[in-house]
């Protein structure tokens, strides 16, 4: 006998709108068609050998093979605090102001579950990383998108820009927090000092919390990464999220962290302890070593990815796309209208057959789907020969 799904669906109402993620769908399409997958943002080369060896050593030496402490192993919490000091001059207490999580994804979910009551509004920049909407829904909150819009910069390039008036207008008496992401996935925008200062002023003026997803902090090619928590009045109201996945090219390890004041971190920990309780132990020791790598690692990662960004940006432009300037992240957003297309979803569904390349329609990251209809996202965190192959396929397939 089967369960009578027509009387009551299995998936609860809060999550009903979130089926499988677009990444699973597009990656399956890539496998089925043998296409080059520039859809999902994971590197096809592993991170530093020394960090991998540190994980093996931890496993062998019995470090972290049993439940590590709930807040994370002290070695990693200290390394996270040192990293904040080293790169941003922020002083963070490793004992009370750091929490290790199962990737940034858990940090985002735990932060929202901890800080949001049903009925609270959460402002997020649209298009947004796909877990945000689901995490707000799981917390019973209401998401309020503020759309990043393409704009021309003084140097003639195009980038997605935050409209500060629109952000201000989105705040109501029910707004609890702003969920910010910079460097921004999928648009590749890095919020400027002026934009962040305005966000900070608004948070202070309206007494809002902020949760900032900074997983691409070391992948900034233009401008600089500025943590929102370092702006006046923001330390006491900001939860800052980081992850080893992108900074060390080990996305499968799922080690992330939260920093914030002791009361904020304690609140997030309350939610986290009933999600995963702790994250994988041996990897925490390895990530502690990784965070202490010399500057050459962080500079090398950035310069490597800058070259990849340039390769893909040029290739997409040569293939006929309109291309936005990527200031940070793993991604280039392209406009399909110069190719005579309008609907990114239809375009991406046909691209594997047509060109043997997979991309993601940016539309799926919007509530206002029409705003994102003509945009598609390509990941460049791949080997150069893979990018060259993809660009060649696009050029011949679209001509």
Ligand X SMILES: Cc1ncc(COP(=O)(O)O)c(C=O)c1O
> Which residue lies nearer to ligand X by CB, 47 or 256?
256
3-state DSSP assignment of residue 10: coil
Tokens (6 digits) for 168: 């201000």
Alpha-carbon distance of 173 to 114, in angstroms, equals: 19
SS3 state of residue 257: strand
Residue from 181, 187, 240, 363 binding ligand X (CB under 6 A): 181
CB of 154 to ligand X, least distance (A): 27
Shortest distance, position 119 Cβ to ligand X, whole Å: 25
* CB closer to ligand X out of 191 and 319: 191
Distance between CA 291 and CA 181 in Å, rounded?
Answer: 21
333 binds ligand X (CB under 6 A): no
Q: List, in sequence order, the alpha helices (H) in the chain.
A: 22-33, 49-60, 74-88, 103-115, 130-138, 164-170, 193-205, 244-247, 262-272, 281-291, 295-318, 344-355, 369-372, 384-398
Residue 240 touches ligand X, criterion: CB under 6 A: no
Give dist(CA 96, CA 86) in Å, integer. Answer: 19
Q: Which of 37, 84, 105, 313 binds ligand X (CB under 6 A)?
A: 105
If you ran DSSP here, which 8-state letter would residue 184 be given?
P
Is residue 336 within 8 A of residue 374, CB to CB? The reply is yes
Q: How near is the Cβ of 191 to ligand X at its closest, in Å?
A: 13
User: Considering the complex, what minimum distance in angstroms separates the CB of residue 211 from ligand X?
Assistant: 11
Q: Kindly identify the residues of this chain, within the stretch 127-156, that bind ligand X according to CB under 6 A.
A: 129
* Residue 16-45 contact track with ligand X, rule CB under 6 A, x = bound: -------------------------x----
> In the window 358-397, what residues touch ligand X (CB under 6 A)?
none
Task: Report which DSSP code applies to 63.
Answer: S
320: left (phi over 0), alpha (psi -120 to 50) or beta: left
CA dist 13 and 201 (Å) reads 36
Stretch touching ligand X by CB under 6 A, among 68-76, 103-111, 231-239, 361-369: 103-111
**Per rule CB under 6 A, is residue 256 in the interface with ligand X?**
yes
Q: What are phi and psi of 302, to 5 degrees?
A: -65, -45
Q: Which of 238, 243, 259, 261 binds ligand X (CB under 6 A)?
A: 243
- Nearest to ligand X of 55, 319 (CB atom): 55
Beta bridge partners of residue 335, listed in sequence order: 322, 375
Binding residue (CB under 6 A) for ligand X from 251, 261, 313, 362:
251
Residue (201 or 304) nearer to ligand X, CB: 304
> Among residues 76, 104, 264, 359, which is the contact residue for ligand X, using CB under 6 A?
104
Are 256 and 244 a contacting pair, CB within 8 Å? Answer: yes
Smallest gap from Cβ 360 to ligand X, in A, equals 11
Contacting residue, 215, 264, 265, 376, with ligand X by CB under 6 A? 215
**Least distance to ligand X, CB of residue 213, Å:** 5
- Torsion angles phi and psi, residue 48, rounded to 5: -55, 140
Q: Residues 247, 51: contact at Cβ < 8 Å?
A: no
Closer by beta carbon to ligand X, 97 or else 106: 106
Region for residue 356 given its phi and psi (left: phi exceeds 0; alpha: psi -120 to 50; beta: otherwise): left
Q: CB under 6 A: which stretch of 91-99, 112-120, 229-237, 250-258 binds ligand X?
A: 250-258
Residue 189 near ligand X by CB under 6 A: no
Q: Is 103 in the site for ligand X (CB under 6 A)?
A: yes
What x-and-dash track marks residues 57-76 binding ligand X by CB under 6 A?
--------------------
- Token pair for residue 7? 């009387």
Please count the residues of this chain forming the interface with ligand X, following the rule CB under 6 A.
14
CA distances from 314 to 138, 248, 320 (A): 40, 26, 10
Contact range with ligand X by CB under 6 A, out of 101-109, 110-118, 302-310, 371-379: 101-109
Using the minimum distance from each CB to ligand X, give the nearer residue, 355 or 381: 381
Using DSSP bridges, classify how beta strands 149-152 and 158-161 pair: parallel, antiparallel or unpaired.
Answer: antiparallel
| Residue at token pair 């992330």 | 256
Q: Tell whether residue 245 is a contact of ligand X (CB under 6 A).
A: yes
Summarize as ranges the residues that interact with ligand X (CB under 6 A): 41, 103-105, 129, 181, 185, 213, 215, 243, 245, 251, 254, 256
């Amino acid at each position: 006998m089967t369960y009578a799904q027509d009387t009551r669906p299995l998936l609860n109402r809060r999550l009903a709108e979130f089926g499988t993620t677009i990444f699973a769908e597009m990656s399956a399409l890539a496998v089925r068609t043998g296409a080059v997958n520039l859809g999902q943002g994971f590197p096809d080369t592993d991170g530093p050998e020394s960090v991998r060896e540190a994980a093996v050593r931890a496993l062998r030496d019995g470090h972290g093979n049993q439940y590590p402490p709930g807040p994370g192993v002290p070695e990693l919490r200290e390394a996270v605090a040192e990293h904040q000091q080293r790169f941003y001059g922020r002083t963070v207490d490793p004992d009370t102001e750091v929490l290790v999580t199962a990737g940034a994804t858990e940090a985002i979910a735990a932060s929202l579950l901890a800080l949001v009551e049903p009925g609270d509004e959460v402002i997020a920049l649209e298009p947004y990383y796909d877990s945000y909407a689901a995490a707000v829904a799981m917390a019973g909150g209401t998401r309020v998108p503020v759309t990043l819009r393409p704009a021309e910069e003084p140097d003639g390039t195009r980038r997605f820009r935050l409209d500060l008036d629109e952000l201000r207008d989105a705040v109501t008496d029910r707004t609890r927090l702003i969920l910010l992401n910079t460097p921004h996935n999928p648009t590749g925008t890095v919020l400027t000092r002026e934009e962040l200062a305005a966000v900070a002023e608004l948070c202070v003026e309206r007494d809002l919390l902020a949760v900032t997803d900074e997983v691409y902090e070391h992948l900034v090619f233009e401008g600089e990464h500025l943590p929102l928590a370092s702006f006046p009045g923001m330390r006491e109201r900001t939860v800052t999220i980081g992850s080893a996945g992108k900074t060390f090219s080990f996305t499968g390890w799922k080690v992330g962290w939260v920093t914030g004041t002791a009361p904020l971190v304690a609140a997030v920990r309350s939610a986290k302890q009933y999600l995963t309780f702790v994250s994988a132990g041996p990897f925490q020791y390895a990530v502690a070593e990784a965070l202490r790598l010399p500057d050459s690692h962080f500079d090398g990662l950035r310069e490597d990815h800058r070259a990849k960004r340039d390769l893909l940006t040029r290739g997409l432009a040569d293939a006929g796309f309109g291309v936005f300037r990527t200031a940070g992240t793993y991604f280039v957003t392209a406009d399909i209208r110069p190719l005579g297309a309008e609907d990114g979803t239809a375009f991406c569904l046909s691209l594997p057959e047509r060109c043997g390349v997979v991309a993601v329609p940016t539309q799926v990251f919007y509530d206002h789907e029409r705003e994102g209809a003509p945009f598609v996202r390509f990941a460049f965190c791949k080997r150069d020969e893979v990018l060259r192959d993809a660009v060649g396929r696009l050029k011949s397939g679209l001509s």
